[in-house]
Structure formats: C-alpha cells, structure tokens
Amino acid sequence: MAELLQRMQDRLHSLPDGLQAHIYRVRDVALELASPHDIDAGRAELGALAHDVCRAVPGDELLKMSADLGVTVTDVDRDFPLLLHGPVGAELLRKEEDLTDHGLYEAVRWHSTAHASLDPLGKLIFLADKLDPQKAAVYSYQARLHDMALESLDLALLEFLSREMVARMEKGETIHPASVDARNSLILRSES
Ligand SMILES: [Fe+2]
Ligand SMILES: [Fe+2]
C-alpha cells in the first residue's frame, strides 16, 4: 500500500493546482471521518488522493476513454460525461497502478453518483468529497452534513442524496440511476 501511496502522490503532481488543493482538503476530511468509523486511515487517505485522478479530463475524452477501458456508459453519463471521471479514474488506476483493493476501486468509481454496493470506505470518500470546506457555498447544509457524517455515514449519505435529488428535480434535471439505487438501498436496509 505504501508503494501505491507513493505512486498516487507522484500522479497528483501532474494535476492542476486547484484540483490538487481540493484533493488534499478531501484527504483531511477523510482522515477525520476514518477514526470514528474504525476505517483504516491508510485506505481513507489513498481513496481521497485517488478519487479525482481523472477530474481534469474533458468530457469528450472521458467518453473515448470509457470505450477504450470498457467502462459502462448510461444515457445520463452520455448527457453529462463528467460523471464518468470516477469510473474512468478507477479503471485507469486498476490497469496502470495495479489498484487491486476492491473497496478502494469502488470508492473511486462511485464517488460522484454513489452506488447501492458502496461499503463504509466508499461512503466515507463520497462524503469527504462533498465536505471539502470550499464547497460550503454549493451545499448550504454542509455543516450539518459534516456532523451527521461523524455520527453515521449511512444517515449522512441518505441526507445528501435526498437533498441533491430534490434540488435536481426542481431544476428539471436528470438523476443518475446509481444514485437512485443507492438511496433506495439505504432506506430499505434501515427498515429491515
Ligand atoms: Fe470527483
Ligand atoms: Fe473531488
């Protein structure tokens, strides 16, 4: 894991400065969330450093890379290809950096939309990305979400997905099927 961490840090240096700064802020939040949820700090750090490896790739290039790497593209992704930076990034790291940790792969893959199969590490990376303090203007409820995330990753994720879906529906926007499945799964599992 130390080798992968070093390679991720090397890769980070090639990303735009603003993106690097976001990634390091996400790393700090991920480390803060790891301990109350008994999640390995090394994996939380790696997930944070890896999550946006393809965030600076333009949408048309992400569509091409998806075809080359065998990444499934939904109609919603085709309409807004930036959603593919997680799946393409995960697949790239699996092929080029020998990312064999399945939980880490899934965390990178689903950090934009979430997914019903996300494990605690995946939920942590998803939330840490949204809890970057610089995104407070985007998510007005961020402080409350931060408190929730320290208590329960599931409740915080459900809160975020519900709020974002309402906002998107009010604007007449699409909702990614993986987000719908993730929210349904959180509700159904909490009822059982
Ligand atoms: Fe991202
Ligand atoms: Fe991010």
In the chain, which residue ranges form alpha helices assigned H by DSSP?
2-12, 17-34, 41-50, 59-69, 75-79, 85-96, 102-109, 120-130, 142-151, 153-170, 177-191
Rg (CA), the chain: 16
CA distance 68 to 34: 34
**What is the Cα–Cα distance from 101 to 119, expressed in whole angstroms?**
12
Which residues sit with Cβ closer than 5 angstroms to ligand 2, an ion? Answer: 52, 129
Report whether pLDDT(191) > 90. no
Instruction: Measure 83 CA to ligand 2 centroid, in angstroms.
Output: 11
Calculate how far, in angstroms, residue 65's C-alpha sits from the geometric centre of ligand 2: 19
Say which residues have a Cβ less than 8 Å from residue 126's Cβ, sequence separation at least 6. 107, 110, 111, 114, 118, 157
Distance, CA of 15 to CA of 27 (rounded, Å): 15
Ligand 1: distance of its center to the CA of 172 in Å? Answer: 23
Domain that holds residue 97: 2-191
Q: 125-140: buried (b, 16+ CB within 10 Å) or exposed (e) per residue?
A: bbbbbbbbeeeeeebe
Distance from Cα 70 to the centre of ligand 2, integer Å:
23
The yes-or-no verdict on residue 19 having pLDDT over 90 is yes
- Provide the CATH number for the domain around residue 186: 1.10.3210.10
Check: CB of residue 114 under 8 Å from CB of residue 87: no
* pLDDT tens digit sequence for 73-101: 999 999 999 999 999 999 999 999 989 99
- Distance from the alpha carbon of residue 111 to the mean position of ligand 2, in angstroms: 8
In a 13 Å sphere around the CA of 161, the CA atoms on its Cβ side amount to 27
Amino acid 190: pLDDT = 83
The number of folded domains in the chain is 1
Average confidence (pLDDT) over 35-63: 97
CA of 129 to the centre of ligand 2 (A): 5
**How many angstroms separate the alpha carbon of residue 131 from the centre of ligand 2?**
10
- pTM confidence score: 0.96
Asked if the model's pLDDT at residue 105 lies above 90, the reply is: yes
Q: What is the pLDDT of the chain when averaged over all its residues? A: 96
